[in-house]
Amino acid sequence: MNDAQQKVFAALDHFRIELPSWGFANTGTRFGKFIQPGAATNIAEKFADAGMVNKLTGVAPTVALHVLWDLPKGEGSVNEIRQLEQQHGIRSGSINPNLFQDQVYKFGSLCNPDPSVRKQATDHMIESVQIAKALGSRDISLWLSDGANYPGTQSIQRRIGWLTEALAATHAELATDQRLLVEYKPFEPAFYFTDLADWGMAYTMAKQAGPQAVVLVDTGHHALGTNIEQIVAWLLHLGALGGFHFNDRKFADDDLTLGSIDPYQVFRIFHEIHAHTASGGRSDIAYMIDQSHNLKGKMEAMVQTVATAQELYARAALVDQAKLSELQDACALVEAEELFRNAFFTDVRPLVQAWRSSKGLPADPLVALKESGYVDTISRERAAKNASSGGSYA
Ligand code: AOS
Ligand code: ZN
Ligand code: ZN
Ligand code: ZN
C-alpha cells in the first residue's frame, strides 16, 4: 500500500454518516410538493430505504428519527422501531424533537411568553430524552424554530432567560452517556430574529445547559460568505463540536445534495477536523445528513451524498499535516496553498472504490442501486399501495 492508499483507507475505516428519516419522504417547498411514487410514506418504508442505503455503502448504520413524524405514539412507538431496526440491520440514531408543528407554537415553543406553552415544549424535550434512552440513542438533536418577524414584538432578552431554563431542565434528564446537540439557524421560519441565530448563541446556551450539551453545525444555516470552517475550528478548539447536518446550498437553507454546489467548502471543513486530530486534539462528531430532495430521486440523492462525504473526507485526509504546519510556520504561502489544493484536486475515487471492494461492498453504490432495481420496485409497489389507500402520499 502506498502512502495515499494508506491514508484514504485509514480515514474511511472510521468514517460513518447518519441518514435522516425525513430525507426519504415527500417534501417540498412552501409552493407545494411534487410527489415521488417511490417516496416513503411510513416509518417501515423509511427504515427499508435507509437499510438499503446502508447495505450499498456500508457506512450509514443509523437513521435520525423525528419524534412526531416517526414516533407518533411517543415511547409507545419504541417497540415497532426496535423491530424495524432488526429487520433492516440499521439502528436508531439521533432523536429530533418537534417544536414547530403544534399550533400552540405560533409565538414560540421553549421561548414562548406563555409559561404553559414553554412547559409543553419542555415536556416534549424531556419525552424525547426518554425515547432516546428507550432506543439506546445517544444524541437528542434540537432545532429550535422560535423567533419573531417584526422588531419590538418580542423581548429578545427575556426569551434568552426562558431558553436557558428549558435547556437546563432538559439536560438534567440526560443519562451520563447522552448528549444534547444544539443547532442554530439565522432565519426561517422567523425572519426578524431566531432565538438561536448563530454558533455563539448555540455555544453559550449549550455551555449553560451543562457539560453534555454541544453544538450542531448545519452547513446551510449561515449567511452567505460565512467562513464555516473557521466556526468548525473554533468549536473544535472549545471541545464543543457535537455534529453536523450536511447539505449544500446556493442561496439559503436550500438542503441540496452535499458538495453539489461547493465541494471545496466541505473539504475545508474536513481539513479542520483532520488538522485537529493530527495535533492531538480529541473530538466526538456525529456526521449527519439533513437534506430535502424535491426533484431528485431520494434514494439516489442519499447514496450520492454518502459517497461524496466519503470522497471529500478522504481527500482532506491526504493533506500532509506535518508538512503543512512547517510551511505555515515558515509563511511559505504558495507552497502551503499548493499542498492544500493538491489534496483537494486529487481524484480519490479509485481508492475509495478499492476500499469498498476490500470490504465486500459494491465499488460504485450508485450503479449498484440502479442494478438492484430497488427504486423501480418501491415506486411500483408504493404507488399501487397509495392509490388503493385513497391516494394519500403524506
Ligand atoms: C431546519 O432548518 C433544520 O435544518 C432541522 O435540523 C431539520 O431540517 C429538521 O429538524 C427536519 O425537519
Ligand atoms: Zn416573492
Ligand atoms: Zn438541520
Ligand atoms: Zn435546515
**Ligand index nearest the alpha carbon of residue 292:** 1
Examine residue 189 and say whether the peptide bond preceding it is cis (omega within 30 degrees of 0): yes
User: 3-388: which CATH architecture?
Assistant: Alpha-Beta Barrel (3.20)
State the pLDDT confidence band at 394, using cuts at 50, 70 and 90: very low
Q: Which residue bears the cell 453539489? A: 260
State which ligand 1 atom lies nearest to the alpha carbon of 183.
Answer: 6
Q: What residue's CA is closest to ligand 1, atom 3? A: 143
Continuous segment of H or E residues that includes residue 26:
none
β-strands 147-148, 193-194: how paired? antiparallel
* Neighbour tally for 283: CB within 10 Å: 15
State the DSSP string of 232-272.
Answer: HHHHHHTT-EEEEEE-B-SSSS--BPTTSS-HHHHHHHHHH
Q: At what angle do helices 333-345 and 321-329 cross, to 10 degrees?
A: 150
Taking all residues of the chain, what is their mean pLDDT, rounded to a whole number? 97
> In this structure, which residue's CA is closest to atom 8 in ligand 1?
290
Bigger pLDDT: 270 vs 389: 270
ipTM of the predicted assembly exceeds 0.90: yes
**Distance from C-alpha of 363 to C-alpha of 353, rounded to nearest angstrom:** 5
Q: For residue 59, report the phi and psi dihedrals to the nearest 5 degrees.
A: -130, 15
Contacts with 216 (C-beta within 8 Å, 6 or more apart), sequence order: 141, 181, 182, 183, 184, 202, 242, 243, 244, 245, 286
Q: How is residue 308 written as a grid cell?
A: 461524496
Q: Considering every ligand atom shown, identify the ligand nearest to the alpha carbon of residue 96 and give its number.
A: 1
Q: 394 C-alpha vs ligand 2 centroid, how far in Å?
A: 26
Grid cell, residue 274, equals 483532520
Question: In a mutational test of the pocket of ligand 1, which residue from 290, 291, 293 has the highest number of ligand atoms less than 8 Å from its CB?
Answer: 290
Q: Are 181 and 145 in contact (CB under 8 A)?
A: no
Ligand 1 center to 256 CA (angstroms):
13
Query: Mean per-residue pLDDT for 90-114?
Result: 98
**Boundaries of every domain in the chain:** 3-388
> How much is the pLDDT for 197?
98
Ligand 1 pocket residue status of 222, Cβ below 6 Å? no
Q: Is 245 in the pocket of ligand 1 (CB under 6 A)?
A: yes
Q: How far apart are CA 134 and CA 373, in angstroms?
A: 35
Interval 53-84: pLDDT, tens: 999 999 999 999 999 999 999 999 999 999 99
* Residue pointed to by grid coordinates 417511490: 38
* Tens digit of each residue's pLDDT (9 = 90 or more) over 141-179: 999 999 999 999 999 999 999 999 999 999 999 999 999
Indicate whether residue 45 lines ligand 1 (CB < 6 A): no
Structure-model confidence comparison of residues 82 and 29, the more confident one: 82
pLDDT tens track for 294-343 = 999 999 999 999 999 999 999 999 999 999 999 999 999 999 999 999 99
Report which bound ligand comes closest to the CA of 147: 1
CA of 313 to the centre of ligand 1 (A): 23
Gyration radius of the chain's alpha carbons:
21
